[in-house]
Amino acid sequence: MNSLVQSLTNLVMPSTPPAASSSLPAHRRRRRPRSPMSSFSSPPLPPSGFSSQNFMLGAGMVVLQPSTHKVLLVYDTKDKHWFLPRGRKDVGETIEEAAVREAYEETGYRVRPLPLYMPTHAPAPPSNPGARAQLNTEPLYTSLVSWPANSGNRRFPGEYLTFWYAGQIPFDAVRPPCHPFMTLLTHAQTHTPISSTAMPDEQFYTSHLLSYADALECLRPFSLEGTVLAYVWTVYCHTTSIMAEDAAEREESEQSRSTRSHESDSNGTGDEMRGGGNRSRIIDSRTRADNVSLYDP
């Protein structure tokens, strides 16, 4: 293994990129003006590439409790800082599986993905052409952080790419009990309860349900994770607004149907004579949220 790493390290790459070929069409040689990025995003990055020894994939999750609109944060009682649950992807694990696992290990709660109406460039599958306009659990944010050489057990510098998802816990969510021995050990040393789901290096983590404003203040509004939280919260509020409008339309439609049914019984007129086309339009516009809740146990 060491010889393989050494041979890869000894590869010599050109110090300067080759000049652009003049045979390229003019429209390919011109630099196209860039559109402004979202206010939640960093400036555009130049085309880049990293070998497996210089990148790492991670997954994180913004966990919400829809019934209370609270945010689940982790606090490190040893290093005294707040953060969103996140960590590295294991070999053979999908990124979404890593996000759910990390949330469980670091918060102690059984977390599930939270479907949201979000902007996404993921293409819709042929079997569901309208998927991009429906609730989905695609990643909402990605972050890129560099690490220096000889950082931890990593010899080479690299880039840590993290995909962020939205997660949810129900109103009656309960953290699993601590292991009795670990509880005694922790009370004796730090007076802080330990979650039995935590990894050995995570034994000082505690989880807390906070309001959005308090959670943002703990993370610091203009920090990277503060921006992640702000964006996920924006998409979450957008989703709840759509679902509230759908519920209001559904109630209005039911009341209208009840009124028409009562009038038809009184006047002897069939329901198909009164606004059937408009009723179909209303129902069609609500199909995206039918039988879908923010937490579906």
Report the distance separating Cα 39 and Cα 196, nearest Å. Answer: 39
Question: What burial letters (b/e) apply to 46-55, b meaning 16+ CB within 10 Å?
Answer: eeeeeeeeee
Does residue 58 carry a pLDDT above 50?
yes
In this prediction, residues 47-59 reach a mean pLDDT of 95
In this prediction, residues 84-101 reach a mean pLDDT of 97
Q: Is the pTM of this model over 0.85?
A: no
Does residue 102 carry a pLDDT above 60?
yes
Q: What is the pLDDT of residues 155-178, one digit of tens each?
A: 889 999 999 999 999 999 987 665
As given in the structure block, the two tokens for residue 237 are 């509020």
> What local confidence, expressed as pLDDT, does residue 259 receive?
80
Q: Give the burial class of 26: count Cβ atoms within 10 A of its Cβ; 0-12 exposed, 13-18 middle, 19 or more buried.
A: exposed
Q: What is the pLDDT of residues 111-149, one digit of tens each?
A: 999 999 999 999 999 999 999 999 999 999 999 999 999
Residue 174: count of CB within 10 angstroms of its CB: 10
Element containing residue 164 per DSSP (H, E) = strand 158-168
> What local confidence, expressed as pLDDT, does residue 14 receive?
35
Element containing residue 160 per DSSP (H, E) = strand 158-168
In this prediction, residues 190-196 reach a mean pLDDT of 43
Q: Which residues contact 78 (CB under 8 A, 6 or more apart)?
A: 190, 204
Does residue 75 carry a pLDDT above 90?
yes
> What local confidence, expressed as pLDDT, does residue 272 receive?
38
Higher pLDDT, 261 or 218: 218
Report the distance separating Cα 54 and Cα 143, nearest Å. Answer: 16
